[in-house]
Amino acid sequence: MFRGSEALAAGALTRAALRGPRYRRLLPDVYTPAALEPDLALRSRAAYVWAGNRGVLTGYSAAEMLSAACAPAGAPAELALPGTHPKAPPGVLIRQVTLARDERRTYQGVELTTPVRTAYDLARRCSLAEAVVAVDALAGRFGFAPKEVLGLARRYRGARRTLRLPEVVALAEPLAASAMESRLRLVLVLGGLPRPAVQYRVPDRRAHVVASVDLAYPEQLIAIEYEGADHFAGHRVVRDVHRYTRLVDLGWRVYRYTADDVYQRPARMVAEITRALRHPR
């Protein structure tokens, strides 16, 4: 990633080459090789370069850089900048926040908020479900207890939207394996169903573990799985078929849901699991 003006000044590129098919302009004067996918991590780095390699990446940008992906599709790059600054270009969100020295770190050449501070910011800013998703992802990735978010709330008494943080922390589950698994769990819990076990290890009749399922109601022998795109790859399909067969053979009912179900048919999911819980085997 580089500034086009600097490459031109150094004679490393011509203006024609910069505008050609080999490079992609992500932000004003910020370019990358066209082969790179402009995902949130790349766009966040571009925002940092656009700001003159200053400021601090926050929120979803910090989470993405920390390999705790939890952003909804299309989330903008987020950057905290002190004082006056140029108007942010489309796709970049400038935050005005107070950060203590122990709430920021240097990672892979950029400044960003620490995992706990990132969780605190997202837990206050997002909807309840997305706040829990963020805390799940960050706490699971870095091994901190979700209640550490409440420590920052005590540091910043009176900050906006901190009153709901205990609810976010109570709903958090660091064992969640992905953001979409967290969203699936929250559809059920916020829909009024009992809290399911997470990453439950299913034993056979000799107490040997035969499968680990995303969510489970063990007493009712109900397994609930989130099926992302990776589940439909050739080798994964075969492995899943064997796993589901073992579960059914042990008397489990397996409910499999996709992103379309989570986002477009949550009421149907809640109704299906409600019926299953009311009529156990």
d(CA 48, CA 42): 10
Residues 89 and 200 in one domain: no
Assigned domain for 8 exists: no
Residues 47 and 155 in one domain: yes
Nearest CA-CA partner of 65 in 93, 44, 81, 92: 44
pLDDT at site 242? 82
Residues 48 and 159 in one domain: yes
Q: Domains in the chain: how many in total?
A: 2
Q: Give the angle subtended at the CA of 129 by the CAs of 123 and 131, to the nearest 5°.
A: 10
pLDDT at site 207? 79
d(CA 188, CA 194): 8
Residues 135 and 254 in one domain: no
Range of the structural domain that residue 117 is part of: 37-171
pLDDT at site 143? 95
d(CA 241, CA 80): 47
Q: Name the stretches of the chain with pLDDT < 70.
A: 229-237
pLDDT at site 235? 62
Q: 56 and 80 in contact (C-beta within 8 Å)?
A: yes
d(CA 39, CA 164): 31
Q: Is 143 helix (H, G, I), strand (E, B) or coil?
A: coil
CATH number, domain with residue 188 = 3.40.960.10
Among 122, 143, 171, identify where a domain stops: 171
24: tokens are: 């992609």
Could you tell me where the beta strands, DSSP code E, fall in the chain? 2-3, 23-27, 30-33, 56-57, 77-80, 92-95, 104-107, 110-113, 197-203, 209-217, 222-226, 253-257
Residues 185 and 157 in one domain: no
pLDDT at site 153? 92
Residues 59 and 125 in one domain: yes
State the pairing for strand pair 30-33/23-27.
Answer: antiparallel
Tokens 């394996």 identify what position?
177
Instruction: Supply the pTM of this predicted model.
Output: 0.90
Residues 63 and 130 in one domain: yes
Q: 57 and 79 in contact (C-beta within 8 Å)?
A: yes
pLDDT at site 210? 84
Number of H helices, E strands in the chain: 12, 12
Assigned domain for 224 exists: yes
Q: For 74, phi and psi rounded to 5 degrees?
A: 80, 10
Residues 201 and 145 in one domain: no
pLDDT at site 194? 97
